[in-house]
């Protein structure tokens, strides 16, 4: 069937008439098919989990509505795909259209959700009362509750690995974890987590704690617990810069770890933006003629920001200038806004799913440690954030030799000549694995690359005992290797990547020595027990 355009009418700009006709034909044929199946009582149940419940399958009007919604959403998405707009414009269009389509799902409204209606009737109206109570509570919090937060307490059932705070300044507390083996590797490892979230993603519960696993393998672990700056403290942190976080954060933590362990060189690991900060700090040290770290591990971290994945829709000069006017000279990028941004990268899983369960069905979210951590964000100083946004996401200068000065010296990633272990997650929507792979061509040392299954967090936090997922290893000898070619040659292995990394780390850590009897060393005495007090400050 053809759709001739009326006289004087032209298709929307940027879409060819042929493409539009094809979309229209498919839409009409789909509508007719759905209508016929509904009339005959043969509508197929949907696999989309928003509409997969028995209430949808047993209610023909609701099931038909869900089918038509998905048909319409597909047509809208195809129109964006068919547009001839510039790539950056098309990406924004795709993101915007998907946000609206996800928001308008019939599952999100009581009047069109048969599961919520059935729960309302069966409960005698109780789900409506509890749903309204959940909504009012979340309005007071300023965010959607994703887990039963009453079930978790820091130091009691999350962040429980024994250790001590051995140093603190206005930027961070340094934790040293207690050994569990009679001997330990000579060189300790310093973990640099992202300052956008709390450190305990690396120390959730004992069975999935990255820190505990490392300690059990005989490594002495130090970890940065970034402070969560809040305006009420009025101590100048609202003016803290990227350089401050390098000098008084990462480099200071390296210095204290060296002093306590009495090692001229240590191992270091950076996770997400913590990896970007660590790499920059090592480039600063190299520019100063120093090499305080003998090996570096990068977990889902970027230095080359050419492809920033879904976050790229927020990156342009106008946004950078807006943030610089708002908070570039002082203030905070709030944890609430950052959290909302990341949630709406996966709205069906992290937003609308909870709108339906919490508000329409009046349910209490299940207790899940990962989502408890996810809700516990931190504020970022405005000058720090705006420097990071412009020089990485917008202008991608970290990868350019001597294009930036940090801490007063020009930085060149090629001067980082130590062995590097670079990990990425295949389904990462925050750090595309190809972007993490690009670090191979920036560091000059002997590099190892491993690709894990799953996403930004689940791919990293994959303890061996659970025997879940898989990972890929392949050739990394070529600095200019194409990631897709690497992927074609890689070998998939079952289970966790942690043992492969630990085997590599052991070769970088020296001989085994007697485990220290106590944490710290003068003048770095124990200040308090882990997880420390900084991590317990929640963003307002």
Cα(95)–Cα(310) distance, rounded to whole angstroms?
8
- Residue linked to tokens 């990227």: 242
Cα(105)–Cα(109) distance, rounded to whole angstroms?
8
* Cis amide bond preceding 531, omega within 30: yes
The C-alpha angle with vertex 206 and arms to 428 and 496, in degrees rounded to 5, equals: 40
**Angle (deg, nearest 10), helices 251-261 and 273-287:** 80
- Residue linked to tokens 């492969």: 500
Query: Is residue 47 a contact partner of residue 54, using CB atoms and an 8 Å limit?
Result: no
Cα(111)–Cα(348) distance, rounded to whole angstroms?
19
Distance of CA 321 to the CA centre of its chain: 25
DSSP 326-365: HHTTS-EE-HHHHHHHHHTTSHIIIIIHHIIIIIIS-PPP
* Cis amide bond preceding 523, omega within 30: yes
Burial-class residue 4 by CB neighbours within 10 Å (0-12, 13-18, 19+): exposed
Is 272 one of the annotated active-site residues of the chain?
A: yes
Rg (CA), the chain: 26
Query: Is residue 383 a contact partner of residue 168, using CB atoms and an 8 Å limit?
Result: no
Query: Is residue 93 a contact partner of residue 83, using CB atoms and an 8 Å limit?
Result: yes
Query: Is residue 270 a contact partner of residue 299, using CB atoms and an 8 Å limit?
Result: yes
- What are the structure tokens assigned to 85, written together? 């707009």
Catalytic residue among 195, 272, 406, 407: 272
* Contacts of residue 360, Cβ cutoff 8 Å, sequence gap at least 6: 108, 109, 110, 113, 116, 119, 127, 131
- What are the structure tokens assigned to 98, written together? 């998907």
- Residue linked to tokens 């978790």: 152
- What are the structure tokens assigned to 363, written together? 């349910």
State the CB neighbour count (10 A cutoff) for residue 342: 19
CA dihedral 64, 65, 68, 69 (to 10 degrees): -150
* Contacts of residue 195, Cβ cutoff 8 Å, sequence gap at least 6: 226, 245, 249, 273, 274, 277, 378, 380
The residues annotated as belonging to the active site are 272
């Amino acid at each position: 069937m053809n759709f001739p355009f009326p006289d004087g009418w032209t298709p929307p700009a940027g879409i060819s008439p042929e493409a539009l006709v094809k979309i229209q034909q498919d839409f009409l044929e789909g509508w007719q098919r759905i209508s016929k199946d509904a009339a005959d009582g043969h509508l197929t149940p949907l696999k989309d989990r928003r509409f997969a419940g028995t209430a949808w399958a047993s209610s023909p009007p609701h099931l038909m509505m869900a089918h038509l919604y998905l048909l319409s959403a597909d047509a809208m998405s195809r129109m964006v795909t068919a547009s001839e707009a510039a790539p950056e414009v098309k990406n924004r269009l795709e993101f915007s259209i998907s946000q609206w389509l996800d928001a308008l799902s019939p599952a999100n409204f009581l009047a069109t959700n048969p599961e919520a209606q059935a729960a309302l009737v069966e409960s005698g109206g109780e789900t409506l009362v509890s749903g309204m109570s959940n909504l009012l509570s979340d309005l007071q919090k300023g965010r959607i509750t994703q887990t039963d937060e009453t079930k978790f307490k820091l130091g009691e059932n999350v962040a429980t690995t024994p250790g001590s705070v051995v140093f603190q300044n206005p930027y961070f507390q340094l934790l040293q974890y207690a050994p569990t083996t009679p001997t330990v590797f000579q060189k300790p490892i310093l973990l640099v987590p992202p300052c956008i979230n709390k450190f305990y993603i690396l120390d959730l519960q004992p069975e999935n704690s990255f820190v505990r696993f490392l300690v059990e393998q005989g490594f002495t672990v130090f970890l940065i617990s970034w402070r969560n700056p809040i305006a009420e403290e009025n101590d100048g942190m609202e003016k803290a810069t990227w350089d401050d976080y390098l000098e008084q954060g990462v480099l200071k933590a390296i210095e204290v770890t060296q002093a306590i362990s009495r090692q001229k060189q240590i191992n270091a690991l950076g996770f997400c933006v913590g990896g970007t900060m660590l790499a920059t700090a090592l480039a600063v040290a190299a520019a100063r003629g120093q090499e305080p770290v003998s090996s570096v591990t990068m977990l889902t971290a970027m230095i080359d920001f050419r492809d920033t994945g879904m976050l790229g829709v927020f990156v342009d000069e106008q946004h950078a200038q807006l943030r610089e006017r708002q908070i570039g000279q002082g203030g905070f990028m709030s944890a609430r806004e950052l959290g909302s941004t990341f949630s709406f990268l996966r709205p069906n899983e992290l937003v609308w799913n909870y709108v339906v369960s919490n508000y329409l069905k009046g349910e209490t979210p299940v207790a899940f440690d990962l989502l408890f951590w996810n809700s516990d964000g931190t504020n970022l100083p405005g000058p720090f954030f705006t420097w990071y946004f412009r020089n990485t996401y917008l202008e991608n200068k970290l990868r350019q030799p001597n294009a930036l000065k940090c801490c007063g010296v020009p930085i060149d990633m090629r001067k980082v000549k130590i062995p590097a272990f670079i990990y990425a997650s295949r389904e990462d929507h925050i750090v595309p694995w190809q972007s993490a792979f690009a670090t191979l061509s920036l560091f000059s040392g002997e590099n190892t690359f491993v690709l894990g299954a799953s996403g930004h967090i689940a791919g990293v936090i994959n303890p061996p005992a659970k025997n879940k997922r898989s990972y890929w290893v392949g050739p990394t000898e070529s600095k200019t290797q194409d990631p897709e070619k690497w992927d074609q040659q890689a070998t998939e292995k079952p289970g966790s990547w942690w043992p492969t990394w630990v085997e590599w780390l052991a070769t970088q850590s020296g001989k085994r020595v007697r485990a220290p009897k106590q944490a710290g060393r003068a003048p770095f005495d124990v200040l308090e027990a882990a997880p420390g007090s900084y991590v317990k400050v929640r963003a307002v």
